[in-house]
Structure 1
Amino acid sequence: MTADRWVARTVRERLGLGRLVPLGEAADGAWLAERAADPVLRRAAAAVPAVVPVSLRVGLADPAETAEPAVPPPPGALPPGPLRIEADFAATADAPLPVTAAALRAALFTAARESLGLLVTEVDLRVTDLLDQAPAAAAPPEEPAAVPPPVEPAAGAAPTGAVAAVAARVPGVAVLTGALGAPVREEDGHIRIELATTREHRALDVAKAVRSAVTAGRTDRPTVTVVITAVV
């Protein structure tokens, strides 16, 4: 692959990730792409009776209430802090809208925390359409985009074969990905690992297990950042 094609591919993949939101607490050293969160949250929303999810966004609840990350963050990542989900949805009038909204809010809170590990403190909802009746057959929730294959590492990247092998063996890791560059970057005492997790495992738990596995037995005590770009 030529340098120009490598750069173009990397830019496309990075833009497709959406925001990189903090996963867990500041000490957990993990971030999750909005692209990875979207299908998980969308499935939870679609399971609420009389609700048709339209759009979902995840961001900081209050940019003034953030913490210093314990490890170097990935490029463009949001700092650790409480999160807000903003959701647009259509609904029928089978139940009062406040009742429907409360059920949707609870479903999104649960999915964000229990399936992913996002520290969501607020869910803002907006009804964009009132339906005469529920759809005869609800469309299946949007599936995540295909997991990007690892891209070719940039020239001069440090050898990372051993780190990649350890990370790939952690339960819940589906594949190492490369939307931000090399799937594993190790330099100046810091390691950044990019991966996709399986939906059967909580994303935050996988990220913490990867960080522990990668540093186990190492005397140089590197810092480790985990970026999850898909849940498959």
Structure 2
Amino acid sequence: MTTADGSHGAQGWTAAVRQRLGPGRLLPLGGPADGAWISERAAAGVLRRAVAGPGPVLLELRIAVADAGAAPAPQVPPPPSALPPGPLRIEATVAATAHQPLPAAAAALRSALLTAAARRLGLAVDEVDVRVAELLDDEPEQAEPPPVEVRPAEPEDAAGRAAAGVTGVATLTRVLGASVHTGADHVRVELATDGGHRALDVARAVRAAVTEAVNGHPPVAVLVTAVTEGPGPQDSPAG
């Protein structure tokens, strides 16, 4: 599939501006016991790169909670304004040509997004809604997804050093504040993961390493703010 960051329609331009202004919503990675979140911007970047290629142009991509009902409480304090753990819904707005039947093109994109969300990130996605907003006369030229922007931070304490040493951690980051936030009853670590490792697997390993490294072994939350470019994990489980 081909992606676009704003050259096709006002919706794509709006999405691109929003992606550059901030991390977007903080999405749960895994389930309530995993204590991990990822920024919508980071997740959308991975999904866009995963479906890059011939096919519909991905104008806008949004990820939200699929069910507005009661959600299970996370087992560690979440980052501020983070979405609660629970099934997610991907909403993709695309432009397509008539060279391929629209139902088939939408089904292929839906399948690719579901696979990437599970295998590359660890997002619990139950629904993918594909909406065709524009019909193109010709196949568009392939557009590269925007580069990953990372604000690196050096580890300054035991928690930071433990997190930075985990395989799959590209760097600690400082998007929402300090890379390591120590609260009264928990520790939160902010980082970027390597695109060759599933984000949820890295977050789980970071939680274990930081819990062991910090006195008192407090609960640990992990916030992934970026996923660096690279080949995706080949054999990561979906669960």
Q: TM-score range by the shorter chain?
A: 0.7 to 0.9
The runs of at least 4 consecutive aligned structure 1 residues that moved more than 3 Å come to none
Q: Which residue of 2 aligns with 1:18?
A: 24
| 2:150 aligned partner, one-letter code | V
Q: Which has the higher mean CA deviation after the structures are superposed, 202-211 or 218-227?
A: 218-227
What CA deviation, in whole Å up to 9, does each residue of 1:48-72 have, x standing for no partner? x321110101110012141100100
* Residue 42 of structure 2 corresponds to residue 36 of structure 1: yes
Q: Which residue of 2 aligns with 1:73?
A: 78
Distance 1:15 1:76 in 2: 17
Alpha-carbon contact 1:189-1:220 (below 8 Å) kept: no
The alpha-carbon distance between structure 1 residues 24 and 101, as it changes in their structure 2 partners (threshold 3 A), is same
1:94-173 alignment runs, 5 A limit: 94-135=99-140, 137-144=141-148, 146-150=149-153, 161-173=157-169
Secondary structure, in 3 states, of the residue corresponding to 2:33?
helix
Q: Which residue of 1 aligns with 2:181?
A: 185
The alpha-carbon distance between structure 1 residues 147 and 119, as it changes in their structure 2 partners (threshold 3 A), is same
Secondary structure, in 3 states, of the residue corresponding to 1:28?
coil
Q: Which residue of 1 aligns with 2:217?
A: 221
TM-score (norm 1): 0.85
| 1:69 aligned partner, one-letter code | P
Distance 2:117 2:204 in 1: 17
The alpha-carbon distance between structure 1 residues 175 and 134, as it changes in their structure 2 partners (threshold 3 A), is same
Which one has the largest radius of gyration?
1
Secondary structure, in 3 states, of the residue corresponding to 2:129?
strand
| 1:115 aligned partner, one-letter code | R
Secondary structure, in 3 states, of the residue corresponding to 1:79?
coil
Distance 1:188 1:23 in 2: 23
| 1:230 aligned partner, one-letter code | A
Shift of 1:87: 0.6
Distance 1:15 1:81 in 2: 26
Shift of 1:179: 1.5
Secondary structure, in 3 states, of the residue corresponding to 1:139?
coil
Q: CA RMSD in A?
A: 2.0
Shift of 1:141: 2.1
The alpha-carbon distance between structure 1 residues 93 and 65, as it changes in their structure 2 partners (threshold 3 A), is farther
Q: How many pairs align?
A: 210
| 2:143 aligned partner, one-letter code | A
Secondary structure, in 3 states, of the residue corresponding to 2:63?
strand
The alpha-carbon distance between structure 1 residues 14 and 192, as it changes in their structure 2 partners (threshold 3 A), is farther
Distance 1:16 1:150 in 2: 18
Secondary structure, in 3 states, of the residue corresponding to 1:211?
helix
Shift of 1:108: 0.3
* Residue 97 of structure 2 corresponds to residue 92 of structure 1: yes
Secondary structure, in 3 states, of the residue corresponding to 1:201?
coil
**Which of 204, 207, 222 is 2:203 aligned to?**
207
What CA deviation, in whole Å up to 9, does each residue of 1:165-185 have, x standing for no partner? 110010111111111211001
Secondary structure, in 3 states, of the residue corresponding to 2:60?
strand
The alpha-carbon distance between structure 1 residues 22 and 14, as it changes in their structure 2 partners (threshold 3 A), is farther
Q: Which residue of 2 aligns with 1:57?
A: 62
Distance 1:15 1:169 in 2: 30
| Consecutive unaligned residues in structure 2, runs of 5 or more | 1-18, 229-239
Shift of 1:134: 0.7
